[in-house]
Copies of this chain bind each other. A is one copy, B any other.
Amino acid sequence: MKNNIIDGKEIAKNIRAGLAKEIEMIKEKYGKVPGLAVILVGHDPASHTYVSMKEKACKKIGMYSEVHRLSEDTTQDQIIELIEKLNKDDKIDGILVQLPLPKGINENIVNYKISPEKDVDGFHAINAGNLFLGEKSFVPCTPKGIIRLIKETGIEIEGKNAVVVGRSNIVGKPTAILLLNENATVKICHSRTRDLAKHVKEADILVSAVGKPEIIKGEMIKEGAVVIDAGTTKVDGKLVGDVEFDLAKDRASWITPVPGGVGPMTITMLLENTLEAFKKRWNLEP
């Protein structure tokens, strides 16, 4: 059996070890560490799990973290008040509001209150705009992780045909822009795309971020393609990707599994962005 699996867990582990080492050195030299503040509103169980994972990940690499667990009936104004306090808090380099927020709260209005310098999720319009315009910005974590996984395979992105399936603001669209910045020819497909199979078959690099179990059939994959599966859906308590894995694996040159592919990279990139924010704020070399 060919071993063509991109081991996101292992890659993430190595990156985190590097971050831990850097934070240790920074702590020794400057007597401080980067800090991440997470705001969690309500009682969505998946959100609670994610936030605990982020908290644990911070601790493990020596990063300061604080989680603000707020009740379901917290008002938008109260969240904004907290964000404004964290914007000024010297211990905090990154602020993230765990989505989804309870009904009645406007996620954009809330996210736009985060200082762009602390917007480590890269969801603020200023950061999205700078990403789009090719300027320096915080890059959303999942797309950043996806590009890192592709690069880990050693293939050259420039000049390749990349196809992104899904056009969310959080994954699909920023991934397309990042691939474009790497000089791929980029196509974006979505729910209104006709003949998805034909488009997917073109892809030297395929990124799927739809969240529909096995919407990408094995037979759609071009022989030798790099396949990144950023879709995750829970089916009978099991995490399932967008790609029909077993068949796709045979045709792909490289492929990410679900779980253990893109997932572990997302939090890792959050940690990296927070360290980056810290270094920028204290003017340390990048």
Contacts and interface: CB of A to CB of B under 8 A. Distances in A.
Nearest to A176: B188
B173 A132 contact: yes
Nearest to A193: B185
Nearest to A132: B132
Given A125-B133, A129-B130, A190 B199 contact: no
B190 A187 contact: no
Given A187-B185, A192-B183, A129 B135 contact: no
Contacts of A192: 158-159, 183, 185
Contacts of A131: 132
Interface in A109-138: 124-135
A148 interface: no
A169 interface: yes
Given A129-B128, A132-B132, A185 B180 contact: no
Contacts of A193: 159, 185
Interface in A78-99: none
Interface in A124-158: 124-135, 158
A244 B250 CA distance: 43
A156 to B, nearest CB: 11
A108 interface: yes
B183 A186 contact: no
B134 A169 contact: yes
Given A125-B135, A176-B188, 19 more contacts: A108-B133, A124-B129, A125-B133, A128-B128, A128-B130, A128-B132, A129-B129, A129-B130, A131-B132, A132-B173, A134-B169, A159-B193, A159-B194, A180-B190, A185-B187, A185-B189, A185-B190, A185-B199, A187-B187
Q: Which 7 A-B pairs have the closest CB atoms?
A: A129-B129, A125-B129, A128-B129, A187-B187, A183-B192, A185-B193, A132-B132
30 contacts: A124-B129, A125-B126, A125-B130, A127-B129, A128-B128, A128-B129, A128-B130, A128-B132, A129-B129, A129-B130, A129-B132, A132-B169, A132-B177, A133-B169, A158-B192, A159-B192, A159-B193, A167-B180, A173-B180, A176-B188, A180-B188, A183-B190, A185-B188, A185-B189, A185-B190, A185-B194, A185-B199, A186-B188, A187-B187, A187-B188
